[in-house]
Structure 1
Amino acid sequence: MALIGQSHELVADIHQGGGAALSLTVLVAGAAMCLGASLWRSLSGDHRPAKSVLVSLQSAGLAAAFVALAYQVKAGDWLTSVDPAVLGWFTEHRSAWVTGPAIAVTDAGGPVGTIVLALVIGALLSRRARSPIPALILIGTVGAAALASTVTKTVVGRARPPIASQVLLETDHSFPSGHATEAMALFVTAALILGYSWSPSRRAVLLVTAAAVVVVVSVTRLYLGEHWLSDVIGGMLLGGLAAVIGSALYSAWMGQSHGRRTGHSDAATTDTGTTDLCRSNSTMTGPAA
């Protein structure tokens, strides 16, 4: 009986290890797919509506990576075994002069702060475009990301880090980090909308700046002991997926707007040409006898 029990445990360990290896493969492949598609779009300099193939590759890559990580978190496999060590490192390296600013940043990146920022940034983008569409896309993207994060928390059901490790007590589910999800969706989408017509180098600087803000917000969640490392990585993946979809919607709207403007311009040119031609014919034939 003992031999049978050990055999079952061995088979379970092999199955668990195989699942973790497969999840890691999917995670890395998904991230590579997204990065490759993003680099392709950046180098192509395509300011027209985003090509459906590239958007599909980016979305599929991020979705696959997120699902693989969520599966590992729920299963508790070795892929998330580094989480306690990372949490312990941040807990041991806290200092009073960092804790205060970290609390301020994490408060600003909370649900209320994110809503306010989305409204303000959206209003500025809409004023610049003279249309409410950019604001609606930005706010809708952030809202959809927040909803997806809440649903995933319930499905995965991961517990928060130990209360003794937390600076700010939070007892709801942990994966993914709502702060990381919403920050990624908000700042990256806003950067993509703002830099839509910019040169590739200026867009790259803008995106790096947005990514830096997301990293700062995410690190505060680790520093304050509110999340595990895989929580914030999952939040970034989910928020990135929302940003890709939101920016694709904005690109499609810009393409339609450009098409309408071009159509009106062509129509005006045709009308002007017809009028000039009529006037020319009238001049050539002279007044009727």
Structure 2
Amino acid sequence: MREAVQPPVSLATAHDAPIHSNLVGRAHEVVADIHHGGATTLAVAVLVGGMAMFLGASVWRSLQRDRRGPAAAAIAVQCAGLAAVFVALAYQVRAGGWVTGADPAVLGWFTGHRSDWLTGPAIAVTDAGGPAGTIILAVAIGAVLSRRARSPIPALILIGTVGAAALASAVTKSVVGRARPPIVSQVLFETDHSFPSGHATGAMALFMMAAVMFGYGLPPARRALLLILAAVVTVVVSVTRLYLGEHWLTDVVGGVLLGGLAAVIGGALYTSWMDRTRAPGVRIPEEVTPHSSRSNPTTMGRAA
């Protein structure tokens, strides 16, 4: 009987599977790199473009003065720019993009420069700038503004703006789901989600709104001074969150952006309401014409 002859094993067949797997794997890596690079490029474009929109609209708005139509358009562009920057930053944080690259270094710098004489005041500031402190300040400032305006509307606008900013911050925390810095770096133990910083959000919304509302009707220099003061307070609160190791750098930047967006919208509502109440033709109690039956001192009660 003749034995069946087995066909020779091809070298190409023996190595085809590994070669094919390597090529497919490499192709997936290249596609992933291209996709990641495209997403990064898009994020950079949105960040830069959104900030340019906000700054340009801010300058445009400052030049409009009492022209309501162009001012409203400028406010819309401001809001669109801030919203675009915030969304792009949130996406980068969730994806662990290049924007977050400086976070560990900044956290390490702050934790490495702690001192006993700074930690106590930092804890006091961060406690005052927390949810409870922000609510108390919003109610107090709103009461002062409403008493001055003899209407509950200013308080409702201020509290509503701060509350909306806090709600948006809580929702974003759940969506992004970023973890807090390591526990060993935290002075105050916190375990909820990290982005954006609720302290930075609340401080920016509250103090910027207060600056806009107290500055209504004041000269431009005084309004600018109030805005600068509000920005300084917001920065101090935000820095305490970094110093105490409770947040990453991009967390507080995101909080400032979100709080700023809320302040732009709330400030526009307040300004619009004040413009309507002070519009020409509105009757003011102090300017009521004297009653016709009252004697005229120049005529001693006689007909002129």
Fold shared per TM-score above 0.5: yes
Q: Which residue of 1 aligns with 2:81?
A: 61
2:276 is aligned with 1:256 = yes
Q: Whole-Å Cα distance in 2 between the matches of residues 90 and 143 of structure 1?
A: 30
5+ long unaligned stretches in structure 1: 273-282, 284-289
Q: Which residue of 1 aligns with 2:123?
A: 103
Q: Whole-Å Cα distance in 2 between the matches of residues 238 and 106 of structure 1?
A: 18
User: 2:213–2:267: 8 Å Cα contact kept in structure 1?
Assistant: yes
More divergent stretch after superposition (19-28 vs 37-46): 37-46
Q: Which of residues 25, 36, 61 is equivalent to 1:5?
A: 25
User: 1:167–1:225: 8 Å Cα contact kept in structure 2?
Assistant: yes
Distance 1:91 1:50, change over 3 A: farther
Aligned amino acid, residue 160 of structure 1:
R
Distance 1:141 1:49, change over 3 A: farther
2:141 is aligned with 1:148 = no
Deviation at 1:9, TM superposition (A): 1.8
Aligned amino acid, residue 180 of structure 1:
A
Q: Which of residues 207, 213, 218 is equivalent to 1:193?
A: 213
Q: Whole-Å Cα distance in 1 between the matches of residues 61 and 194 of structure 2?
A: 34
Q: Which residue of 1 aligns with 2:263?
A: 243
User: 2:166–2:201: 8 Å Cα contact kept in structure 1?
Assistant: yes
Give the aligned length: 271
Q: Which of residues 25, 43, 47 is equivalent to 1:23?
A: 43
Aligned amino acid, residue 256 of structure 2:
M
Q: Whole-Å Cα distance in 2 between the matches of residues 113 and 180 of structure 1?
A: 13
Q: Find the structure with the greater CA-based Rg.
A: 2
User: 2:65–2:71: 8 Å Cα contact kept in structure 1?
Assistant: no
Aligned amino acid, residue 233 of structure 1:
V
Q: Which residue of 1 aligns with 2:15?
A: none
Distance 1:38 1:63, change over 3 A: same
Distance 1:186 1:50, change over 3 A: farther
Aligned amino acid, residue 187 of structure 1:
F
Q: Which residue of 1 aligns with 2:6?
A: none
More divergent stretch after superposition (6-15 vs 76-85): 6-15
2:38 is aligned with 1:38 = no
Scaled by the length of structure 2, the TM-score of the pair is: 0.84
Aligned amino acid, residue 197 of structure 2:
S
Residues 20-67 of structure 1 show CA distances to partners (whole Å, capped at 9, x for unaligned) of 221122112112211221222223333869832011011100100000
Q: Whole-Å Cα distance in 1 between the matches of residues 268 and 166 of structure 2?
A: 19
User: 1:86–1:229: 8 Å Cα contact kept in structure 2?
Assistant: yes
The answer to which structure has the higher helix fraction is 1
Point out which structure has higher relative CO (alpha carbons under 8 A, 6+ apart).
1
The two structures, once aligned, show a CA RMSD in angstroms of: 2.2
Q: Which residue of 2 aligns with 1:204?
A: 224
Scaled by the length of structure 1, the TM-score of the pair is: 0.88
Q: Which residue of 2 aligns with 1:215?
A: 235
More divergent stretch after superposition (8-17 vs 41-50): 41-50
Q: Whole-Å Cα distance in 2 between the matches of residues 226 and 210 of structure 1?
A: 22
Aligned amino acid, residue 104 of structure 1:
A
User: 2:61–2:75: 8 Å Cα contact kept in structure 1?
Assistant: no
Aligned amino acid, residue 147 of structure 1:
L
Paired residues for 1:62-211 under 5 Å: 62-211=82-231
5+ long unaligned stretches in structure 2: 1-20, 293-302
Deviation at 1:5, TM superposition (A): 1.5
